[in-house]
Amino acid sequence: MRRLRRTQVMRDAVADVRIDPVGLVCPLFVTAGERSVPVASMPGVEQLPVEAAVAYIEAMVGRGLHQFMLFGVTAESRKDPEGNFAASEDAPVNRVLNAMGGRQDVIMIADLCFCEYTDHGHCGVLHPSMEPWTVDNDATLPRLAETAVAQARAGADVVAPSGMMDGQVGAVRVALDAAGFSHVAILAYSVKYASSLYGPFRDAAEGGMQFGDRRDYQMDFRRAHEWKEAVARDVAAGADIVMVKPAVSCLDIIAGVRRHCSIPVAAYHVSGEYAMLHAAAERGWVDLRSAAVEQTTAIRRAGADLIVTYFAPQLLDWLS
C-alpha cells in the first residue's frame, strides 16, 4: 500500500475523493449599510452592502465559484415580531437577487428563515397564548410561503427553508408552484441539529435570540435515527436537495442520509467549525490550510455533494 503514497504526484493520482469548486457554496451576509463590516468571530468574513455583495459574487464567478447562499442583516428598526421585512423588495437579500437574477453562470440560494428579521430572534412567529414563549409552527408556514414567493420573484434560483418548522417544505413548494415558480428549487434544511457551533453566525447575521433557545424546534443531536423520518418527509413534500447541519460533527449522519436518498445531499460547514480552525491556527496549533482542506474532504468523503463553507474562496486557491 505504501508504494501508492511515495510521492505527492502518486498520492494525487490515486486519491478517490476530491473537492471540486462546482460543489462549493459560499455563504454571504448582506446588509443595507453603506460599508463592509468585519465579523470579529469569523476572520475573513464581512457583512457586505448590496453593491459590494454583487461585485464580490461577480469576482468569485470569474474565479470559478458559482453558488452563493444569501443571509440578510437587518437593522433593528426593520425587525418586527413576524419578520415581515424578509419579503420586502427593499430587503438586502432580495436586492442582491434582483441584481443577479437571470444569469446562467450562477446559482443564487436564498436562506428562508426569520431569525434575522424578527425582533425576538426566533425562527418563526411566536404563539400568542403560550407562556413563557413558543414558536407557532402552523402560523409560521404561510409566512414562509409568502417570503419564498418574494425571493423567487426577486430572482432566487433556490430557496432554503432553514427554520425547522414541520411542513415547511410542502408549504413552500405549493406556494411556489401556485405563483408560477415551479422552476425554483428547494434546498431543505432537513437535518439541522441544535448546536453550540452557531454562535459566530448569529454575530454575523445579528440574529441572536432575545430569550429562550431553539432546542424545541431544532433537532436533538443525541437522537441517532430521527433524521430518517425528517429526510423522507421533506423528499416526499418536494425537496430537491436535503441539508445536514452542522457538518464535521455529523459526518455519520451525512453518510446515512447519502445512503438513504437519491437526491443531492448538502452539508453546512458551520460558523463555529470555521471559527475554531481559525482560532487554533492563530495560536499555531494547526495549519489553517491543511486543517480546512482535511475537514472539507471529510465532509465530501462522508457523502455530501454540495458543501456550504466560509472557506469556499480560499479553497479555490488551496485546491488549485
Please report the DSSP string for 33-88 in residue order: SSS-EE-TTSTT-EEEEHHHHHHHHHHHHHHT--EEEEEEE--GGG-BTT-GGGGS
Other beta carbons within 10 angstroms of residue 181's beta carbon come to 18
pTM of this prediction?
0.94
Give tens-digit pLDDT for 128-159: 876 667 889 999 999 999 999 999 999 999 99
pLDDT value of position 145: 97
pLDDT value of position 129: 72
Q: What is the CATH number of the domain that holds 166?
A: 3.20.20.70
Largest CA distance in the chain: 68
| Distance between first and last Cα of the chain | 26
Give the count of domains, the chain: 1
In a domain, 260, yes or no: no
In a domain, 84, yes or no: yes
pLDDT value of position 132: 65
pLDDT value of position 49: 97
In a domain, 297, yes or no: no
In a domain, 126, yes or no: yes
Catalytic residues, by residue number, are: 192, 245
pLDDT value of position 130: 65
DSSP 3-state of 202: helix
In a domain, 282, yes or no: no
- The residue to which cell 411566536 is assigned: 126
In a domain, 23, yes or no: yes
> What single-letter amino acid sits at 72?
G
In a domain, 320, yes or no: no
SS (H, E, C) 232-280: HHHHHHCCCEEEEECCHHHHHHHHHHHHHCCCCEEEEECHHHHHHHHHH
Residue ranges of the chain with per-residue pLDDT less than 70 = 130-132, 209
Q: Which domain holds residue 151?
A: 13-239
In a domain, 76, yes or no: yes
Q: What is the DSSP letter of 182?
A: T
pLDDT value of position 131: 65
